[in-house]
A and B are shown apart, each in its own frame.
Chain A
Amino acid sequence: MAISIDAGPVVAKPAEGWQSVVADVSSDQRAFKGVPWGKPMMWIFLVSDTFIFGSFLISYMTVRASTTVPWPSPSEVFGLELFGRNVPLLLIAIMTFVLISSSGTMALAVNYGYRRDRKTTFALLLATAALGATFVGMQAFEWTKLILEGVRPWGNPWGAPQFGSTFFMITGFHGTHVTIGVIFLLIVATKVRRGDLDAQRPGFLTGRRGNYEIVETMGLYWHFVDLVWVFIFAFFYLW
């Protein structure tokens, strides 16, 4: 228990560069020396999620590039009437800025977490959750608008029916991730506020002691949701 990585002969001078890769991969018991277990676990989940989103975007690309029926112009479909003028893609642009800002507050929350600043960490996590909820709210507005205009998973009024199916599938799956993230954020925020992480109280359904690494793990998930939106923004809305 009392062995730490900077305590004497247990760990020699850490290897660097490629030698560190060899040392990590060939090391007994652990592949990533000095990396807390929660981090690679979250990363492995995110890589698997990357493949799911990748499959969606690849199938979207395939149907869009191969259909001979005209594809609706996202620029116009997602435009908003503002001061009697149609501004292209306005809602999506605002959603993008909201999500990027939530990533900013999340990054700061991780930093303040490691500084053991409970109040600021809690406030930043709450701000992140609020921005995430705003994003989901705007997406609900977008979905309502499109459904009222007649977009369905099997068709749309402006051309290729695949537009409907890929739109609901891709944005729906992303929105689900944001929603789960907001719930996850509120749980972590509660733990921070109650001091569960400082007192190392084990969480629900686990015997492991709580610590501030879960804020970083939470952050990895949240930044990933923002990352996926970067690709959706480019491939679905700007294409």
Chain B
Amino acid sequence: MDHAEHPHDVHGGSHPVGQQHPLGIYFKIWGLLFVLSAASYLVDYFDVQGVLRWFLIVVFMLLKAGLIVSVFMHMVWERLALVYAILVPPLLLVTLLGIGALEAGYTHLARGTFFAPAAEPAVAAPAHAK
């Protein structure tokens, strides 16, 4: 009874099982991942700075991550219950990340006020802000 989830075990592979999709989609995603990686590398190569740099980096990152999870890891074809069981916890983690980012700016401000080297003015722009 507990082998009912492996129908091909008893059928000898007479009908399609598992995640079977046309090969073309994998090549397309592979190519897209190359293009997106090249694009994010070019952001650094041409030294794009400021808000635009952050915007581009995060957009390319999320697109790449989305393509890998949805197609390579077959998430678009999985059962909805499995999809939610897997995607909801990391989304909660992103919330923590957002809170952390807000708090980090506040911590930096406090450190700039109290711990910055004497030579540096307390209001100096943070190194990461460029």
Contacts and interface: CB of A to CB of B under 8 A. Distances in A.
A224 B13 CA distance: 28
Nearest to B59: A234
Nearest to B81: A24
Interface residues of B, number: 74
Interface centre among A1, A68, A211, A233 (most CB of B within 10 A): A68
Contacts of B60: 234
Nearest to A46: B86
Does more than half of chain B's interface fall in helix, strand or loop, or is it mixed?
helix
Contacts, number: 205
B116 A238 contact: no
A218 to B, nearest CB: 12
Contacts of B13: 116
Nearest to A212: B18
A86 B19 CA distance: 45
Contacts of B4: 3-5, 10
A51 B5 contact: no
A216 B8 CA distance: 15
Contacts of B79: 20, 24, 32-35
A20 B79 CA distance: 8
A1 B6 contact: no
B119 to A, nearest CB: 12
Interface in B3-49: 3-11, 13, 15-21, 23, 26-27, 29-30, 33-34, 37, 40-41, 43-45, 47
A57 B58 CA distance: 14
Nearest to A200: B9
Contact of B61 (A66, A213, A231): A231
Contacts of A5: 4-5, 7
22 contacts: A4-B10, A5-B4, A20-B79, A32-B82, A57-B97, A61-B100, A61-B104, A65-B101, A65-B104, A66-B108, A66-B111, A67-B127, A96-B41, A115-B20, A160-B127, A211-B6, A212-B18, A226-B68, A227-B65, A230-B65, A233-B37, A234-B61
